[in-house]
Structure 1
Amino acid sequence: MPNASRLAHDLRRATRERARAEAAEWVATVAFRDGAMKRLSPDVTPLRRLTEQSAIPLQIAAETGQSEGQVVNRLACADRAIEHLPQVWGAFGKGDVDAAQVQAISLAVGKLERDDSRQRLDDEALAYARTHTLAELRRWLKRFIARVEADLFAERAEAERAKRHVHIEHLDDGMALLQAYLPSHHAAAIGARLERLAKQPATDDEGQPDRRTRVQRQADLLTHLLTSASADHVPGTPGLRCDIAVTIDAAVLTGAVVGQASAADGSWHVPATWILDSALVGEAFWHRLLVDPITDNTLAHDYRGYSPPDVLRRAVQFRDQVCVTPGCLVPADRCELDHDIPWPAGHTHGTNLRCRCKRHHNIKGHGVVPHLVDPPPPSFHGFAMDFAFAS
């Protein structure tokens, strides 16, 4: 019977072969397009030539079983990678990265406008993609775009904010779809408020426990908040404020440079001016969360009990941002606090606490994946601000 190392080797080889096959399909798709373009007759009207060109993706779609839109998207991604990402494109051919990763990086390079920024992406993205999941890569690319061309990011964000809107589409069976195109920090605040309210104990009109699911309660709460005359407070629940944590570099905060504010878990970014403007209109309040190793650092406090106090829990959540298990992106505020060295041998202390989602906490506790027991030491660098919309 094959041993585990041999099976792991076979799995890695199969993964590389799949990526190489994807690369070969992309190369063949581009070659088909280029060959068809060369065969176009030069002695036709411009309208006829344009029609023949537009039919090429349809021909490819018929050969590959894809939709025409998928073919157009693939060709655009391949063209950007060939022109601006030679290292990524070469690694794709070797099977070092797969089609989904190349597509994500190619879409990111399409957002960049400066040659040096594109070169930097080609230099840095490949190393990150090789050692991280696709979801992690996409978040890293968002951060990269917001950081490397901060001034252009702010311009694009302002242009997109001008397009904010709400759309209602009525569907079958008495249901409708409510969509809102909003700035990310506003959407995050709305999501946080619905999440908090949905967790509050509730009963039905007859005093029986609420049997609705969490997502059903969130949908009902959204309706109530948008339609009730007393939208500031939901009957039967305590008053709440909904916090969203953001990070802003100190230099950006002082106005020395242009930059962005980022969600604690890196899932979204907005121009820092948006957050600062919100802080000046009386709808929010700020406080500084000290997480560096300085005097009175909440992470440095040692507590005798098993459960950490709220101030330590909040600091650890802000530090870790998501579940610390590699590849897991469950937000820290939905995770459990895990003692690296089990309590009581391990103290309730910032250096001995990590955020882990319930599933990975259980896996680590049972010793199923040994490396979860000994992760790298926790660290945090930077200036952290906690931004809160108060209800």
Structure 2
Amino acid sequence: MPMTETFKKAKSAGRKLALLTDEKRNGILRDVADAIIAGKSYILQANVADLKKMEPSDPLYDRLMLTESRLESIAADMRNVSRLPSPLGRTLTERTLDNGLRLRRVSVPFGVIGMIYEARPNVTFDVFALCFKSGNACVLKGGRDADCSNRAAVDVIHKVLAGHGIDTAAVTLLPATHEATASMLSAVGYIDLCIPRGGRKLIDFVRDTARVPVIETGAGVVNTYFDAAGDTEKGQRIICNAKTRRVSVCNALDCLLVHRARLTDLPALCAPLAEKQVTVFADVSAMNMLRGSYPDRLLADATADSYGTEYMDYKMAVRTVSSAAEAIDHINRYGSGHSECIITEDADTARQFQTRVDAACVYVNAPTSFTDGAQFGLGAEIGISTQKLGPRGPMGLEEITTYKWLIEGDGQIRE
């Protein structure tokens, strides 16, 4: 492999990292948070260089953009991670066998975590914080769109690590090339776990190509169902927040399902979206109700492709359903297993929805915009897993550790 030496260095750095005390790791995380604030001009200048290469109308532009307030939030999240309990060395289970052998299952780092992501420079800091706190080295492969930003971020991190005598290979940024991606996905024996964060195309490619273990994250086709017993005022706030808070993120709303009995409430539910210039792809029933109350230039007929699409833009589908069961069937067909929501005052319908909807995060009367590691109290997130084997939903410190069995005896032998 062309990058074998790079991966070897990361593996070696990871072994050393696992030996640091939690106190030492926490101090370094706080120092990196301080360095982010001190170096914000340097980081933002690099980010501007990336932004100049992308059209502001591109849905990824918002993901790519760093601001002073976003850097302050990143630094705050890093400090939060430093305050979390260590995920390492915890005894997960223990027992003594009849023969006197004592068994303990103890949490340990994976070793080296590979991260492949697109135009999201904040991920560089989030992954570092979580991996460092959990004793894992990280190998990062960002996209070309964010390469200047990623390199500035890693430079800030490396300077702090070097100042503490930490091997900087513990945070390795690969070239933003397809060849680097291929090398990471083939790095058997060096990369212990690979996590892709991006669109469906990237995630499918990683899953289908990788020779190293992969956790699928990120792709979010998100639905919200407004039930016959839904509260219109709550619905307005929830739908607008889920759709427009940040349209380019994976927890943003893509399709609104409305019970036929509440179609007359649809104009009120969508009114805040018109103020945000959201284009609505409506089915026939919804279109008939919205025409005349929603701007014509923002209305379009829904097609088969309108459902199951992750828009990452000021666009949303609307479909009319006749029951909660029909809404659930739609979600289980078109959703991606990320986040789904029901707006209802009927407790039985809410329980039915939560039981039957197949997704990592299922909400009742709250927007899907809360699907986020920091919001869940995890400090930050390395990704949002949409698979069922292993971690599911926002992945924090516990989800990027594994375990080993420790067995203590006193000369027993097996008959």
Coarse TM-score class (shorter-chain normalised): under 0.3
Which protein has greater RCO, CA pairs closer than 8 Å, 6+ apart? 2
Bigger fraction of residues in strand: 2
Larger Rg: 1
With the length of structure 2 as denominator, give the TM-score of the two structures: 0.22
Bigger fraction of residues in helix: 1
